[in-house]
Structure 1
Amino acid sequence: MAELGDRVRGLLDDLDATSGAAIGEAAALLLGSIEAGGVIHAGGAGHSLAMVFETFYRAGGLAPVRPMWDERVQPLAGALRSTDAERRPDLGRAVVEAYEPRPPDVAVVFSTSGRNPYPVEMAQECAARGVPVIAVTSAAASRGAADRAGGTLAGHATVVLDTCVPPGDAVHPPDAPRTAAVSTILASYAWARLLAELDDLAAARGVELPRWVSANVPGGDEINERLLARYGDRIPELTMNR
């Protein structure tokens, strides 16, 4: 299956070449927000929720991240319902209104096509509140998708990280792709690269980032408890049902 590995590695190279400068801009936005006491609000729907999970309460990840979502867009709670919800006008806007992001917060919205109302409205509403938006999306997939929102996620973003996911997501076999979706691989890499860029930028400025540590390593629980105390009030998802 070497050809699949080559295809994925090629797409990772494309992402580096296409979004390298934008990742630096996004890192600067995040660092400014963290230094000012802001929270990063992460949103997405359907399988893009995998990326919301990746940003939240993750070993090595940033502590001031709040998942911004509605349970109706989760496929595990009803696959067809999640598709309907992502296409429903006004739901994305209502979610942002409920979470109330405000400067110096930053929003990160994940959507491969960036064409459904839910992610587009999230970006619109955040921008209207003065909250910068980092869009993690694919220009190629967006061009090949149906326009259901009268615009795109990228069109309302402060910074766009183009994941270079091809239309339809699948990449195998090369001559007639029908399986092996790559959107999660590429979006995860984009987020990991952003965290690495942020780490380098913070180190250069002498800033210690608030990061989760694995609970399975010595001292991890103690470090995480301090972060929970620091951010629990603004991020209730960290301690609810405890």
Structure 2
Amino acid sequence: MPDATREQLPGRVRTLLGDLDTTSGGAIGEAAAVLLDAIEAGGIVHVAGAGHSLAMVCETFYRAGGLAPVRPIWDPRVLPLDDALRSTRAEREAGVGRAVAEAAAPAPPDVAVVFSTSGRNPYPVEIAEECAARGVPVIAVTSARASRGAAARTETSLADHASIVLDTCVPPGDVVHPAGEPRTAAVSTILAAYAWARVLADLDDLAAARGVELPRWTSANVPGGDAVNRELLARYRHRVPELSAGS
């Protein structure tokens, strides 16, 4: 395969990363500020997604270098690993997302982060709507392009209920290869993970400027990591039952 052909996908991904920087750079800083305010006030970050957006829920929860006061809110039916067709049905079913949010009972000074590339299925929309109704600011990580190109299964979109929107610039259909007729190489996880990493970097800089020590997990595979994490577990396990359910 010629080198030029191998570079087609990397080039398109880098272009999309640049688009995200241009489109959402300001919003990323705003999201970092909202998160820091919530953490300083003792709030929890509630994180949600369905289907493959659950990869981003995993990326935010109990992650080396990530925030400790993060709670995943989800319904097991939206996980595609043991029943993929069920997960699609569940995120399209009215009421599932609202029930998840109601069970988590977010309240100020908490924050919600909802990941959904299209933001047009009832599940993420209902979670965002319910959180916003409870006075909890919502950070939506979504794609305006993908949302415009998606089937509208709700009267509103995820972005409509968000205080801050991080536009990942994912194209409709997610895939980007080959360029003329894309059919493979989905990029939503790459772009959403990059957006979240940028939020964490801005959050770190902002916290340092304010003199705030962020509660962050340390890799359990480095010296001293287990001791740091034990302290954080003791601090947050009563607010985040998913940290030690059944332990």
Shared fold by TM > 0.5? yes
Q: What residue is the counterpart of 1:8 in the other structure?
A: 13
Q: What residue is the counterpart of 1:143 in the other structure?
A: 148
Q: 2:43 aligns with which of 38, 41, 64?
A: 38
Q: 1:121 aligns with which of 123, 126, 142?
A: 126
Task: Give the number of equivalent residue pairs.
Answer: 242
Given residue 48 of structure 1, which amino acid in structure 2 is its aligned partner?
S
What CA deviation, in whole Å up to 9, does each residue of 1:138-187 have, x standing for no partner?
00000000110111000100000000000000000000000000000000
What CA deviation, in whole Å up to 9, does each residue of 1:83-138 have, x standing for no partner?
00000001100000001111000000000000000000000000000000000000
Q: 2:167 aligns with which of 154, 157, 162?
A: 162
Cα distance in 2, alignment partners of residues 84 and 56 from structure 1: 25
Could you tell me the TM-score, scaled by structure 1's length?
Answer: 1.00
Give the percent of matched residue pairs that are identical in Structure 1 and Structure 2. Answer: 75
Runs of 4+ in 1 over 4 A off after TM superposition: none
Q: 1:200 aligns with which of 205, 208, 212?
A: 205
CA contact 1:213–1:220 (8 Å) conserved in 2: yes
What CA deviation, in whole Å up to 9, does each residue of 1:19-56 have, x standing for no partner?
00000110000000000000000000000000000000
Deviation at 1:77, TM superposition (A): 2.4
Q: What residue is the counterpart of 1:20 in the other structure?
A: 25
Cα distance in 2, alignment partners of residues 146 and 208 from structure 1: 43
Q: What residue is the counterpart of 2:107 in the other structure?
A: 102
Q: What residue is the counterpart of 1:80 in the other structure?
A: 85
What CA deviation, in whole Å up to 9, does each residue of 1:39-78 have, x standing for no partner?
0000000000000000000000000000000000000121
Cα distance in 2, alignment partners of residues 185 and 24 from structure 1: 19
Cα distance in 2, alignment partners of residues 185 and 9 from structure 1: 11
Deviation at 1:239, TM superposition (A): 1.1
Q: Which runs of 5+ in 2 are unaligned?
A: 1-5
